[in-house]
Structure 1
Amino acid sequence: MNKIEALLRERSGNQCELCKSDKDLQVYETKPESITTEANSLLVCNTCKTQIDKTAEIDAKHWMVLSETMWSEIPAVQVVAWRMLNRLKNESWAQDNLDILYLDDETLEWAKEAGDEHDNQSSEVHKDSNGNQLFDGDSVVLIKSLDVKGSSLTAKLGTVVKGIRLDPNNPEFIEGRVDGQMIVILTKYVRKQS
């Protein structure tokens, strides 16, 4: 355990500073800081981390605890709470909390640097044609023959594409190798291989 993690565990009482869970705790650096410090970090559980990082779909019920934890005196906790409430602002309880949450100008500016006030809860989750979430490294099967633009290659129905990469800027695109060539594939044309 490093020094920052030890300080955060002491500060939080060995609990996630967002949801109060005591399982799978880890240090989360509140972006966009370049150096991890106690001031810009918080202790979070794996459930919170994956949803903050947009690698798992947001479970609105999980975040209802922000009604309490958003009042933390720790700026990093305030920033992440504000960001998550913004992603959930379609939920009436989250919008109500946003309306009453006060951040000083500097903390609010830091919170807005992630752009979550323009975000929605499902923005970055990549899903296959059946609605299954895709992750980097998954294998998928093409459910349609696809002509590859700029090439004479046709990716045939039933082709298995191993070790896909998710496009971080568009949840409808993945990348993978077909016949040795790296191509971009629309997620609606693939099925996750079990």
Structure 2
Amino acid sequence: MELLIERSGNACELCKSVGNLSVYTVPPDGYANNHILVCDACNTQLDSPVTDAQYWRFLTDTMWSEVPAVQVLSWRILSRLKNEGWAADNLDMLYLDEETLAWAKAVDNEDDTTVNEVHKDSIGAILENGDTVVLTRSLDIKGSPMNAKMGTVVKNIKLVADNTDQVEGKINNQMIVILTKYLRKQNG
């Protein structure tokens, strides 16, 4: 613990906050120096199956740490959030040597992939099967002379299983695929 406090300057090695620090073990076991100090807020986010993407914005700086365990966690979190533009950009810039990258990939990412497979509308609201959405712009329907006007309500959407950028919905009794970036979830 003393070595971690000295290395970190008695601050969270992820977000740099001070106070309420605890040792976090970066899985899996068997890697040298796989312990880091984290604050309660980071620890809560790390243990949560659904992560608040905006919370992790500080990874833009943290990912450049010289501590391999911090690099591994940064890579894993950014990978989990790769549907966020800023996270994908950071992930593209992040370089890990072969050994560190192997460590980063050495966990069962089933939980991580379920987090990645989230459909979001144009403002970041999570979409689910059966939701009602509104078009945020007029769209030409491929293979049809029809045009779907901005403000058109699409009820009972279906999520496209292998693509989080697409949903299916009926407009004028025709089933079409719509990009989520052109939708806004209608509440209520």
TM-score under structure 1 length normalisation:
0.55
Residue pair 1:83, 1:116 contacting (<8 A) in 2 also = no
CA-atom RMSD in angstroms: 2.2
How many equivalent residue pairs?
116
Conserved in 1, the CA contact under 8 Å of 2:72 and 2:100? Answer: yes
Q: In the alignment, what sits opposite 2:69? A: 76
Change (3 A) 1:11 1:89: same
8 Å CA contact 2:12, 2:38 repeated in 1:
yes
Q: Which residue of 2 aligns with 1:162?
A: none
Q: Deviations over 1:68-98 (max 9, x none)?
A: 0100011000000000001111110000000
Matches within 5 A, 1:1-194: 5-34=1-30, 39-54=33-48, 57-116=50-109, 119-121=113-115
Unaligned residue ranges in structure 1 (runs of 5+):
124-194
Query: Judging changes above 3 Å, is the alpha-carbon distance between structure 1 residues 98 and 122 closer, same or farther for their aligned structure 2 residues?
Result: closer
- Alpha-carbon distance in 1 for matches of 2:30, 2:60: 29
TM-score (norm 2): 0.56
8 Å Cα contact 2:36-2:70 kept in structure 1: yes
Once the two structures are overlaid, the 10-residue window that deviates more, 69-78 or 17-26, is 17-26
* Cα distance change on mapping 1:21 and 1:95 into 2, 3 Å: same
Residues 126-153 of structure 1, C-alpha deviations (whole Å, 9 max, x = no match): xxxxxxxxxxxxxxxxxxxxxxxxxxxx
- The question of whether the paired residues in 1 share the 8 Å contact of 2:82 and 2:88 is answered with yes
CA deviation profile, 1:17-76 (whole Å, cap 9, x unmatched): 1111113211111100158x6x11111111111222236x31212100000010001100
- Percent sequence identity over aligned pairs: 55
2:120 matched residue in structure 1: none
Question: Structure 2, unaligned stretches of length 5 or more?
Answer: 118-188
Given that 1:78 and 1:103 are in contact with CA atoms closer than 8 Å, whether structure 2 keeps it comes out as yes
